[in-house]
Structures are given as C-alpha cells and as structure tokens.
Amino acid sequence: MLQAIGLTSTPRRDRPPAVDDLTFEARPGSVTALLGDTGAGKTTTLRLMLELEPGRGVTYFRGRPLHRIAHPAREVGVLIGDVPGHPARTCRGQLRMLCAAAGVPASRADAMLDIVGLAELRDQRLGTLSLGMERRLGLAAALLGDPHTLLLDAPAAGLSPRENGWLFGLLRAHAAHGGTVLYTTDDPKEAARTADHVVTISQGRLVADQDATAFGRTRLRPRVAVRTPHAARLAALVSREARAAQRSVEVVTEEGNRLCVYGSDCAEIGETAFRHGVLLHQLADEVGDTAPPPAPVPPKATEPAAPAPVPAPSDADANAAGRSAPVLLSRSGAEAPHTPQAPPAPPLAPRPLRRPVRPLRYELCRLLGVPTAYLVAAAVLVTSTLLAAFLARTGGTPLNAALAAWPGFSPLPPAALGAGLLGALSFGDEYRHPVLSTGRGTVPRRLGLLVAKLTVTAVTALLLALSVAVADLAALRLLYGGEAVPVPRNWAALCIGWAGLAIGCSWAGLLAAGVFRATAAGIAAVLAVPVVVAPLVQKALVGPSVRSLAGLPARLRELAWTQWPYETDRLLLAAARVVAQPVGTALVLSVTVLTCAYLFTGLRRRARW
C-alpha cells in the first residue's frame, strides 16, 4: 500500500505552500488518479513523495519510506516530465544505461521494449521520437526494475485516443497483477473512466477522496451534446417543451452552434428536432465536469472538539444553488467529519544519493552509446596523421614530436586534446542530459561513479594514444620509408610520457567538468595546463638544482616489500623524468587541485542536504 501522510511543501517568498497537509493512500491492485487543476500541486505532491522536494511529511511504500529502501528502482517506478537522455542515444542504449544504474540484467531492456511496443524502434534515436513513443519509452524505463508502485505525472497529456487507451490498458494490467498505480491528471472524465479511485486536490489541499463510482455520481454530470445550424431555435423549443411537461431541463448555448442539454436524453432531443424539422449535425451523450471551484480554506481550528458534520448537498440542490462549494468526501463517498488538528508532520528525511549499482557498466554504456566518442577518435586519428606527415616532410621537427603530431605552435597534440574532450564529455553529458536523477544533479558526484569514470577515461585515453602513435608511425614509414623513420631508441620513456600526457589531460577535463558542471569548463582546464600552469611551473623550476633523481629506483627498491626486475628501474626513472618536466608537473598539480575541489564541493553539497 502507498500511504502519503501530512505532505507539506516548503513555502517560498512568503507564498503559501504548494502542498499543505495532504494525506491520502493508494491501494494495491487498483489505479488511483490524483486529480486537480493546473497549479493544484499534483507534481509537487509526487516530488514530495519521492523526497525530491524540501518539505514535511512522510510517504510509506509498503510500510517503508523511500530512503530506507535499498533498491528504489525495484520498488517504485517513476515518470515525471520528459524522458532524460542524450538525443543521439538509441532507445535500447538508454534502457541499458538505466539497467546498469538499477542493477538489473541488461536483457530487461529488450523485454521492456517488447512490452511497450518499441521493439521495432530499438535503434531509433531519442531526439527523433514522437510524443507517444517518448511516453512509451518513459514507461519502459519506469518498469525496468519490475517495481510494485508506479508514480506517473500526467502520462496521458497530449496523447491520441489510441495511445491513451494503450497506456491505461498497460496501467490496468500492472494493477491487476497486484501493483499500485498513482497518476496525476487534470481531466475529470479521464479520471472517472480509467481510475478505480480518485483523490481530488486543490491549492495543495485534499478536496475529495472517493472511489470511481462515488466520484462519477458527485462530480460528473451527464448531458446531451447537440450541434446544429439552428442552435437558438432548438434551444427555445427544448426549453418550451420542458416547461410544458414541468421537467427540470437546462440548455446551455456554446460556441460553434453547439448546445449542451442537462436533464434530458438523446431520444427526447432527437424527437423534438424531428417534430420541428431542425437539422442536426451531432447528437451524443457526454459527461462533463461540473465541480465548483474550491471554497477558501478555513483557518485551522484551535479547539479540540470537532464541529458537527454538515450533510452533503444533493444534485438537485447543487443545480438550484448554482455553483456551490465542494465538500470533503471520504473514500466511501460520504462526507468526512472534521478532525482536530494533528501535530505537524516531521521534516522529510533526505534521500541518500545513490550511484549506479553497476557504475563501470553504466559508464561504458554512456561512452559507447552515442557517436560522439567515435567521431572524436576518428577526427583525432585523421588530424594527427596529416600533421605528422607534414611535420616529417619539413624536417625541422624532432622525430618524437613528429610521431606525436605536436607542432611547436600548438599547446597540445591532437591525441591529448581528444582525450581531454572525451574526459570533459564524461561529466558534461551527465549534467546536460541527466539520466540518473532528474530532481537532483548531485548523483554524478558519488565516489563510486567517479572511480568508474576515471578508469574508463584512462583506458580510453590510452587506446587513443596508442592508436595515434601506431597510425602516425605507419603513415610516416609508408610515405618516407622505414630507413627515414626509425623507431626511437628511448621508445619506452617516450611511451610513458605519451601515456601520462593522454591520461592526465583526460582526467583534467573530467574533473573540471565535474566541478563546474559544464563540458566547456573541462576543455578550458585542459588547455590551461600548457598555456597557464606549465609556464608558471617552468618559472618556479628555473635555476640550478643541488639535488638530482639519481639513485631513486634503488631507494624505492629498499622501501618495497618485494623485489622487482632491474628493467623496471629504467621505467621508474623515465616516469620520474616525465613528471619533472614542466608539462608533467603542471598536469600533476592540476589533477591534484581539481580532485580536491571535486571532493570538497561534493562533500559540501551532501552535507547541505
């Protein structure tokens, strides 16, 4: 069972709260509609239930609040707003990412696509989906963890009647298997037609809590819709015959030669039109909302005694009195007596920020699910090969710089720039196209996800650097011959420096994008390393040195528990010399500072919540 108790949102700028002391429940095996006009507080109610909105109250999902559920995606499926995700990602890739985040098998993605009817569109990009297809994908994402409860915010808004029927058929099937369904709507006819239970709110307060039968009896009024080019004449004829027969019939003239007749039926209206030769274009039974606007909320009672209940007005009294104020109804349809004011609800407990259950698989799906990574790698390979061929032809560039395609006027070689761009996109896409949490942009700051991103980014940078080096060497040997382009003797030290440069640039871009939540900030941090930080480091290192790194491998060997081969000494010394270079030192300092800034901002935001 879903129970919402005392939900109250935090007011802003001296305004009344959007949701004020709202209490209701949704039973398993039934579909519950949360009905209200635009601005009534429906979406805020769902966000309070999901602990995405500051406020007070508590919501129990089968007896447990959300922050005490180990795997929320397996208990609650949510669809609020549009489906978040990169527009270039496919439907199948999007669901596979969410499978990794929820910790469910990747095969669930294909199963959900079949259930929602998107099996033929599994390779369709998110940016090309229609509204109906996007809503189907959102429902598939909500069902990925096989949840017991579904919370949907206006799922049928803007859908065609056919899509509407499919949607509520699927929700009905979920409820038939024992699940709980709660959705919001502003259409009373839709709520009466598709829900088993209707909870009506206005201005954030409960107006009525009824089953569908009681709701249809008290809130909806049958009528006959008539469209005729002689609307005024037919209205006068129907009113005259009703007075002659002493029947209570109300005729309302609307725009477009349309009449709405209350208190009659299609047979009577059709016979009247036939007797007087009135042409009819439409004659149908309809159900429309006749609920009055909510009355002003009375001040909270200070006395412990409850006032006597007032009987609910009948339909005839409501028609005679015009538009009367609504009454608070219980789930049985009868009026609920006022009760003494309960103690204020406790503040909403902050939901712990959750990382993906399988962060490494999630990050791989994120990286390989869009064509950006492939396009960046292809552009780097082509640019680097062309630059290497040009630099080797001029002859004024050292061989190692020609193999790296690093001209003197460029701050970084193409491979390092590409690695930095891929690193910046790792966090930039998380904040630009959020998938993990639409309510809070803090989930990407979880340390488990950071470690996964650092690992995947480092491996990607290494593969890119290796591919560039091999492609450049092969291109130069093909163009100028093997004798003109020999393999450098210090290739091991060059490889260490090349790998360190690529990984350092990728991590600098990743961490800067995570701190400032923008891809551009990551790219700027990568470019700042050789342009700003390296010259400052070089000035600090200028001058004679009284100490050297000679003997460092031997000293490290003495501190180590195990003995490594003597060939490792050369590699360690080469790595130390790379770090001692201005660019290497600048990268180490930049990555260290950005890591500290990332951890500081992440802990500060987490402490605030």
Highest mean pLDDT among 184-193, 327-336, 386-395: 184-193
Task: Give the least confident one: 308-322, 351-365, 377-391, 446-460.
Answer: 308-322
Q: Report the topology of domain 218-299+316-320.
A: Alpha-Beta Plaits (3.30.70)
Which ranges in 488-581 belong to alpha helices (H)? Answer: 491-516, 519-528, 534-541, 552-559, 567-580
pLDDT band at 418 (very low <50, low <70, confident <90, very high): very high
Question: What percentage of the chain's residues is helix, strand, coil (to nearest 5)?
Answer: 50, 15, 35
Residue 596 has pLDDT above 60, yes or no: yes
Mean pLDDT of the chain: 82
Contacts of 72 (CB under 8 A, 6+ apart): 66, 354
Instruction: Measure the CA–CA gap between 103 and 581, rounded to whole angstroms.
Output: 44
Q: What would the mean pLDDT of 2-24 be, rounded to a whole number?
A: 91
Residue 546 has pLDDT above 70, yes or no: no
Whole-model pTM: value is 0.75
Beta-sheet pairing, 250-254 with 258-262: antiparallel
pLDDT tens readout for residues 54-76:
899 999 999 999 888 888 888 99
Q: Which neighbouring-strand residues pair with 251?
A: 261
pLDDT band at 534 (very low <50, low <70, confident <90, very high): confident
pLDDT tens readout for residues 509-527:
999 999 999 999 999 999 9
pLDDT tens readout for residues 376-398:
999 999 999 999 999 888 877 78
The reported pLDDT for the residue numbered 90 is 95
Which ranges in 177-314 belong to alpha helices (H)? Answer: 188-194, 212-219, 231-244, 266-275
Instruction: Measure the CA–CA gap between 203 and 238, rounded to whole angstroms.
Output: 39
Q: What would the mean pLDDT of 347-355 be, rounded to a whole number?
A: 65
Residue 240 has pLDDT above 70, yes or no: yes
Phi and psi at residue 31, to the nearest 5°: -105, 125
Q: Please give the DSSP secondary-structure letter assigned to residue 90.
A: B
What is the arrangement of strands in the sheet containing 180-185, beginning at the earlier edge strand?
76-79, 149-152, 180-185, 31-35, 197-202, 205-211
Among residues of the chain, what percentage have pLDDT more than 70? Answer: 80
Assigned CATH class of 2-213:
alpha beta
Q: What would the mean pLDDT of 193-220 be, rounded to a whole number?
A: 89
What token pair was written down for 320?
Answer: 């005679």
Task: Name the residue ranges covered by the structural domains of the chain.
Answer: 2-213, 218-299+316-320, 359-608
pLDDT band at 573 (very low <50, low <70, confident <90, very high): low
pLDDT tens readout for residues 291-314:
444 444 434 333 333 333 333 333
